[in-house]
Amino acid sequence: MQPVCVTRTTRETAVTVRLARGAGPVEIDTGIGFFDHMLTALAVHSGFSLAISAKGDLNVDGHHTVEDVGIVLGDAFAQLLGDRSGIARYGTATIPMDEALGFCSLDISGRPFLVFDVPMPQERIGEYDACLTKEFFRAFAFHAGITLHLKGVYGENSHHITEALFKAAAHALRQGAEPTRAGALSTKGVL
C-alpha cells in the first residue's frame, strides 16, 4: 500500500501529513511541544510511519493547529485505508501511564462518532490546553470515518491521562487496521 500525503491550507494553518503503513520514520513539528510528543506516541504505538508539518496561528492559541492536524491526519488515514476491506475493523486497548488509565475502543467503519469521557484535573499541560485533546480526536474521528470511544478511567495528572489516551488510541488503531482477509468485515458485505 502506497503512502499518502494530504495538505490543508487555510488563513489560520498550513498542515501537511504523510502517512504510511508499517513502522518507519516519525517526524512531527506542529510548534506545540506536548502535542508533538503525543503525535509521536500515536505513530510509534500504532505502527504507522508518520510525518506532520504544521504552521498555525499560535499567537492566538493552539486550537486551530490541533484541530486542523486532526482533520488532515483523519483525511490521510481514510485515504490510506480506502474502502476498509480486508482489515480487522475493530480495536480496543487499555493503557496505563503511571497513576492514569486510558481506554479506547473503535470501529473503522466509515461511520464517524466520538464519545469522549475524560476528566482533566489540570487545564494546561505546558503550553497545551488539555481541552484540545477532545478537539483533536473529534476532528480525527470524523475525517477518518471512525467510531471512537475514549475514556479516562482514572488519573490525577492531565499529562499522564492524555498520554494514556493517545497510546490506547494507537494500539486500538493498530488492531483495527490490521490486514485480515479479502472483503469487508460486515454482514452487509460493505462498510
Rounded Cα distance, 146 and 134, in Å: 14
Question: Nearest-CA neighbor of 101 among 42, 157, 171?
Answer: 157
Number of domains making up the chain: 1
Contact in structure between 119 and 63 (CB atoms under 8 Å) = no
pLDDT, one tens digit per residue, over 72-107 is 999 999 999 988 888 999 999 999 999 999 999 999
pTM of the model: 0.93
pLDDT tens figures, 135-187 = 999 999 999 999 999 999 999 999 999 999 999 999 999 999 998 877 655 55
Q: How far apart are CA 68 and CA 133, in angstroms?
A: 12
Q: Is 133 exposed, middle or buried (0-12, 13-18, 19+ CB in 10 A)?
A: buried
Amino acid, single-letter form, for residue 41: A
Q: Which domain holds residue 111?
A: 4-176
Q: Is residue 44 part of a domain?
A: yes
Integer angstrom CA distances of residue 22 from 26, 46, 101, 109, 175: 11, 9, 26, 21, 13
What mean pLDDT, rounded, does the chain reach? 94
Q: Check which CATH number belongs to the domain holding 15 and give it.
A: 3.30.230.40
Look at residue 186 and tell me if it is in a domain: no
Q: What is the DSSP letter of 140?
A: H
